[in-house]
Amino acid sequence: MSETNKYQQQTIALAAIFQAASLVEQLARTGEIPAPELELLIGSLFQQSPDDFDDIYGPKPNLQAGYHGICKMMGSDASKIKQDIKPEVMRYALSIIHLESRLRKNGDMMNQLGNSIQASVRQADHFHMTHESVIGSLADTYKETLSTLSFRIKVTGNPQILQNSLNANKVRALLLAGIRAAILWRQVGGRRWHLLLNRKRYIKDAQSLLFR
């Protein structure tokens, strides 16, 4: 039995969306992101049928940027929440949620995503999960599926950084991890209207998870 209740699970999944968005923004702007944060999100892609919710991101997931993002979006004025959130992060996070809603209506693409990620799992058995071959495979999965939908997430940043193939692949892999988090958020009961009506609950849980 998971130690987190369904509301905390929603908050964690939502935080993972913001974490992915934050890493995409940081990578596109600077070309560098913390390796442990990349590993956490890429690892979540390989947890397709976990026995417990806490198996996906861990019992105390390192999603600080994500919790900050929730508080910022929900309008928290708590004095402890001092980290500013760039507009691009908000745009990416909301775009990920919207793109997931498009994906959910395409059963064939959902199956294709699952099969392609399973192939990357087998690849990760031979390499580290963030090896460039695995990242490249996940990026190809994103390009062959989600990039073909009519709605696309436009990533802005330093053109020279984004023209680097490894950086571009990391961006796509992170967006894929964000979509996985959005799917999970919906699976544990999250809905877009909750972003408005459940604001206080999300802020409370995000602050509790951030400072525990």
> In the structure encoding, which two tokens stand for residue 78, read together?
């708590």
Percent of the chain whose predicted confidence (pLDDT) is above 90: 76
1 assigned to some structural domain = no
- What's the total number of domains in the chain? 1
Provide the residue range defining the domain that includes 127.
6-211
Q: Is the pLDDT of residue 211 over 90?
A: no
Q: Is the pLDDT of residue 122 over 90?
A: no
The confidence band for 83, taking pLDDT boundaries of 50, 70 and 90, is low
Tokens 């190809």, residue? Answer: 140
CATH number at residue 101: 1.10.3890.10
Closest of 61, 78, 85 to residue 9, by C-alpha:
61
Over residues 158-182, mean pLDDT: 98
Q: Is the pLDDT of residue 148 over 60?
A: yes
Give how far Cα 132 sits from Cα of 51, 80, 140, 172, 185, Å: 28, 37, 12, 12, 28
Over residues 135-163, mean pLDDT: 97
119 assigned to some structural domain = yes
118 assigned to some structural domain = yes
Closest of 159, 205, 181, 203 to residue 21, by C-alpha:
181
Q: Please state whether the predicted TM-score (pTM) of the whole model is above 0.85.
A: yes
Closest of 159, 157, 131, 181 to residue 26, by C-alpha:
157
* Buried residues in 7-26 as b, exposed as e (16+ CB within 10 A): bbbbbbbbbbbbbbbbbbbb
Mean pLDDT, the chain, integer: 91
The confidence band for 210, taking pLDDT boundaries of 50, 70 and 90, is confident
18 assigned to some structural domain = yes
Q: Is the pLDDT of residue 126 over 90?
A: no
Q: Is the pLDDT of residue 100 over 60?
A: yes
57 assigned to some structural domain = yes
Q: What is the pLDDT of residue 79?
A: 42
124 assigned to some structural domain = yes
141 assigned to some structural domain = yes
174 assigned to some structural domain = yes
Over residues 40-60, mean pLDDT: 91
Give how far Cα 61 sits from Cα of 109, 144, 183, 185, Å: 29, 30, 18, 15
